[in-house]
A and B are shown apart, each in its own frame.
Chain A
Amino acid sequence: MKVSVSSLYQAVELNQEIPPLLIGERCNPNGSKAFREALLAEDWDSCLKMALDQEARGAQVLDLCVAYAGRDELSDMNTLVKLFAGSCKAPLMLDSTSPETLSAVLPLYPGRAIINSINLEDGGANLDKICALAKKYGAAVVALTITEEGMALTCEKKVAAAKEIYRLAVEKHGLRAQDILFDLLTFTVGSGDEKMRDAAIQTLDAIKQVKKELPGVGFTLGVSNISFGLRPAARKVLNSVFLHEAVAAGLNTAIVDAAKVLPYVAISDEDRQLCLDLLFNRSDDALMNFIEHFEQAVEESDEEESDTLLEEQLRQKVLKGDKEGLEDLLTELRGRWQPLDIINGLLVPAMREVGELFGRGELLLPFVLQSAEVMKQSVNLLEPYMEKLSDEGRTSILLATVAGDVHDIGKNLVDIILSNNGYKVHNIGIKVPAEEIIAKAKELQVDVVGLSGLLVKSALLMKENMLQFQAAGLTQPVLLGGAALTPKFVAEDCVPGYENQVVYCADAFAGLKAIRDFESGSLQSTRWESAAVAANKPGPQQEGIDRSQIPPSVPFLGEKIIEDLPAEPLFNYLNQAALFRGRWGYRRGKMSKEEYAELTDKTVLPLYARLKDQALSENWLQPKVAYGYFDCCSEGDSLLVHSTSGEKRFDFPRQPAPPHLCIADYFRSAEEGGDKVGFFVVTIGDRLAEMTSELYASDSYHDYLMLHGLGVELTDGLAEYWHEQMRIEMGLQQQAQADVAAYVAQGYQGSRYGFGYPACPDLEAHLPLFELVKAQQIGVGLTESFEMVPEMSTSAIVVHHPQAKYFAV
């Protein structure tokens, strides 16, 4: 019969194909000094690290014990079970004999746990309570053969105690035989105590007998007790031989330090014989012979034992994004491997794993970037010891943000992921015209070209680029990524223009997958089934627009510059959901609500608070506004704006499908009496943009993403703030509310439409806009393709009509 326990992430069979199932014992203050210290210091991260380390070293289930003098077991268990449940793949063994503690934490655990443990020390009162809990929560239970007389030392007493526990647990409490794991206890054969010479035999015999008399039950054993009092090097061998014998007797799980289990075949015949003589009490001198023999053995400290696992440690560093001690670790690894082998054999596979975890939603973007930082720093540390990484044979990729587009975070994330997966990336920057991309692709003889761009216009430009690439004779596959792209657009508009593959990539890892497909010869152009879904075009559904809306009174006509804005209020208008989940990538994914709340409280909010403090105390932000109110009237799809510098014309697109919305419709025509319109350009200055470039240049990928995201959302916060100011000035709103949740859903009169966005995608409108509000006075300029610089600026037309809401043309 298959019997499993489970964590949030996976089920693990108690009866492994190759027994035993290894239960990690290190998270126990009574058995591990490091864990004790972490527990006493309430250093929960270190506690978790020990759990994850055990997993990495092969533990399939994790024992967790926090009972320690002076500590509150219930509270500590509560904290750690929640932490471990979300982070450990291995199911937990809840090591407590307190029904109160167990009843508090069992409901928190999102899987099938094992309770460790029940016994008959008090005659069965505790056992009754814990078995009831096991039944209620479907947990498995470890049962120790301890009775009112004490620990069962002989086979006979062990079996008798087991039968009594079985009777109570199964017949009285309705547990199933397979729910019970008997720990028949073992004691050291290393003490020289005459009475204990056959301790191993008693335990092994008891396993065989209980297995026969109580079919279906499982077993576990604290294996290392067998060697208590002996030297570490000797213990490791004796424990491993004893484990081998116990498994032969029927043991299916074992509580061990998974890192210290030696494969049986790795133990020499001589060592085996000495161990077996001692375990099976084959001669009076067995213990002395054993000790003498292992006296010669190299004293192994904990450090040396971890030597064998240096490679694993490096993998863990990458997976956890942990740079601590990286230099020492790499120095040691260089003693075993060539630097290039460390990169290709250890680091690259670890990064591949990171990508897979991200793909499965088990690792969030900020952590991926920390992993990439470890990768990058490792390569930097290795480079002095090797010839420069040869580009020969490495797949090379040209990356560029297309002409007219200044957005580089997406392209740079792709660069980070690709270059830290061992590929040669030529990142040639932003606003790159097709001619330059073609020239560079030829000159550098790259294997693949990747184009990026955020704007709606960039998507259209990519379509044109395909034709230009084709005409210029490029043959490399082209990968396309960007916010305004869809697989449908790529398949229908870009693929036909270019003979070779054109592939839509939703994120950096899709790009990585495409490169791997290219290498394996399986890269294919993006296809789009026209029968498949076409995206909705949401928006107001009204038939007609009320023509009788009276224009608001405006405080002045013409433009105004505001340069002395304090930065702090912007944070009240910052959209935290968009920043945390969208820009920063702290998505909930597979986490429970509680786990996500914990991530938010422990990681995200503290980071946000720290950045906010720094931004204010170090003056990262220089918020400035150029805005104005103008007389205007609509004329067909256009808006004519009157100003002292003459009439400006804004042409707006109209939806081709019902309800055929167009921004101009929200304004009265000249015949209807004309109207009023507002415009603004806001910026937080260029300081933050400079800082983000520096972070990117210094490979601080994580901070780069965080700061960039903060800047973009603060810019939007400033726009939200200023839009509110303008509503107040126009009498559309009484006072400042800074209600971000309401503003997200346009809970106000009118709308602000950003140029370059779906209702008015044409950036050329920036030309008349800039003439109207004189945005150059606040340091904002336009690129040749009418994008604003610095990047952290935004613009809008402010519409007062109550029916005006977001829509897409």
Chain B
Amino acid sequence: MRYICTCCGYTYDPAKGDEMNQVAPGVEFDDLPDSWVCPLCYATKDQFDPLD
């Protein structure tokens, strides 16, 4: 499931991963570490909304 950052609108798509945080494709949002933050605005995980 994709998640959207409520602060800047960045979308985390597990199919793409997150290069800026060195997250490989295939990692579900729930499985990202708690230390993970939005690669664009540094919002924390709890500031994301499910998108799908």
Contact = CB atoms under 8 A, between A and B. Distances in A.
The answer to whether A binds B is: yes
Interface of A: 533-536, 538-541, 575-578, 581-582, 587-589, 593, 740-741, 744-746, 758, 805-806, 808
Nearest to A589: B49
A587 B10 contact: no
A593 B52 CA distance: 6
Given A536-B35, A540-B20, A575 B9 contact: yes
Contact of B20 (A577, A588, A758, A805): A805
Nearest to A746: B40
Given A533-B33, A533-B34, A538-B18, A741 B39 contact: no
B40 A806 contact: yes
Given A581-B4, A741-B9, A535 B44 contact: yes
Mostly, the A contact residues are loop
A540 B20 CA distance: 5
Given A577-B4, A581-B49, A538 B34 contact: no
B: contact size bracket: 20 to 34
Nearest to A740: B9
B40 A577 contact: no
Given A536-B21, A538-B21, A541-B19, A578 B42 contact: no
A588 B49 contact: yes
A536 B50 contact: no
A761 B44 CA distance: 19
Contacts of A576: 9
Contacts of B20: 538-541, 805-806
A587 B52 CA distance: 14
A582 B34 CA distance: 20
B24 interface: no
Mostly, the B contact residues are loop
Contact of A578 (B9, B35, B50): B9
Nearest to A744: B9
A540 B40 CA distance: 11
A588 B42 contact: no
A149 to B, nearest CB: 53
A808 B42 contact: yes
Nearest to A580: B6
15 contacts: A533-B35, A535-B37, A538-B20, A540-B20, A541-B19, A575-B9, A576-B9, A577-B4, A581-B6, A582-B6, A582-B47, A588-B49, A588-B50, A744-B8, A744-B10
Interface in B21-47: 21-22, 33-40, 42, 44, 47
Contacts of A534: 35
A576 B6 CA distance: 10
B8 A575 contact: yes
A149 B46 CA distance: 61
A584 to B, nearest CB: 10
Between B6, B19, B37, the greatest number of chain A beta carbons within 10 A of the residue's beta carbon is seen for B6
Given A536-B33, A541-B22, 12 more contacts: A536-B37, A540-B20, A577-B4, A577-B6, A578-B6, A581-B6, A587-B6, A588-B50, A593-B52, A745-B10, A746-B40, A758-B42
B25 to A, nearest CB: 16
B50 to A, nearest CB: 6
Nearest to B46: A506
A415 to B, nearest CB: 23
Instruction: Name the 4 nearest CB pairs between A and B, nearest first.
Output: A577-B9, A581-B6, A533-B35, A538-B39
A806 B43 CA distance: 13
Contacts of B15: none
A582 B4 CA distance: 11
B23 to A, nearest CB: 9
A535 B9 CA distance: 20
